[in-house]
Amino acid sequence: MTEYLEFEEDFESASIRGGYFTRLWMLPLVVVLVGLLIGFLLSGNVVLKASDSFINSSIQLSTNSNADNALIAMPINSHDRLSDLFTPEVLYWRIKINEWSEKIGLDPNLIATVMQIESCGDPRALSSAGAMGLFQVMPFHFNNSDDPFEPETNALRGMAYLKQSLDASNGDVHLALAGYNGGISVIQRSELSWAVETQRYTYWGSGIYEEASLGLDTSVRLQEWISRGGASLCMQAANRLGLDP
């Protein structure tokens, strides 16, 4: 008991004086504190790296999301320059018109203009003179194995002739339309000598094409054409294509 009391007294006095007991617990405490400090710093780096990684991932994800949205927002056909002013029967062929435009090398608005006044989009159209199909192509433009009413064949034969007419007129659309309707030889002649049908054809076609090229929503010349007889042609085309009148 006495020794215990003496030990207790020595402990208290040693604690007050900072004796060997203080030295014994101070060293581990320092080690623990240093360890905690190092751990904190290391954990801070990990947090910073994790934060940086999260930020970088977020930025990349955001960028990828924008790219995906941009991709989704892109039109189905990026080469679609066809005006919306044509009648629904012609716009029914929109995808094909753009395909023919790229394949043949013609302005899609010019292709649509010819289709508009030739057949209004009726693939089975047939004139009293024997012209056939979407572009009212004459029989002598086809090969023996061709189906004149097959849209692809009709378009390629008709537009090849239109391109030939356009080349002969040095790119003058008015003259090219005259050549398509009355024969390429009329390009070299005075307009006053053209047949009345060819004069009307170039009047309608040139006006519609010009307004389509300007990006207008509606065409005054097209509405005039419809009121002067085009309506019946378009009604026939709508019935053929199964479109609402």
Q: Given this model, what pLDDT does residue 79 score?
A: 65
Q: Residue ranges of the chain with pLDDT lower than 70?
A: 1-79, 245
123-126-127-132 Cα dihedral, nearest 10 degrees: 70
The letter for the amino acid at 135 is: F
> Could you give the CA distance from residue 56 to residue 66 in angstroms, rounded to a whole number?
15
**200 exposure class (CB count in 10 Å sphere: 0-12, 13-18, 19+):** middle
Q: How far apart are CA 175 and CA 169, in angstroms?
A: 6
Q: Which residue among 118, 191, 197, 211 is the active-site one? A: 118
Q: Which residues contact 218 (CB under 8 A, 6 or more apart)?
A: 85, 211
Note if 224 is an active site residue.
no
Question: Could you state, in order of their start, the residue ranges of all structural domains in the chain?
Answer: 2-73, 88-241
What pLDDT, on a 0 to 100 scale, did the predictor assign at position 162?
97
Q: What is the largest CA-CA distance in the chain?
A: 144
Q: What's residue 146's pLDDT?
A: 94
pLDDT (0 to 100) of residue 37: 55
Find residue 126's DSSP bridge partners: 132
Residue recorded with tokens 């390429």: 184
Q: What is the pLDDT of residues 138-155, one digit of tens each?
A: 999 999 999 999 999 999
Residue 147 backbone phi and psi in degrees, to 5 = -100, 105
pLDDT in the model for residue 39 = 52
| The pair of three-digit structure tokens given for residue 80, joined into one six-digit string | 């679609």
Tally of CA atoms within 13 A in the half-sphere of 77 that contains its CB: 13
Q: Positive or negative CA dihedral for 144, 145, 149, 154?
A: negative
Run of H or E residues at 44: helix 20-73
Q: What would the CATH number be for the domain defined by 88-241?
A: 1.10.530.10
- 226: how many CB neighbours lie within 10 A of its CB? 17
Residue 122 CA: distances (Å) to CA of 93, 97, 108, 130 = 10, 14, 18, 15
Q: Tell which residue, 68, 118, 60, has the closest CA to residue 89.
A: 118
- Residue 81: per-residue pLDDT: 87
- Return the pLDDT at 97: 97
User: pLDDT (tens digit, 9 = 90+) per residue, 205-235?
Assistant: 999 999 999 999 999 999 999 999 999 999 9
> What whole-number distance in Å separates Cα of residue 219 and Cα of residue 4?
115
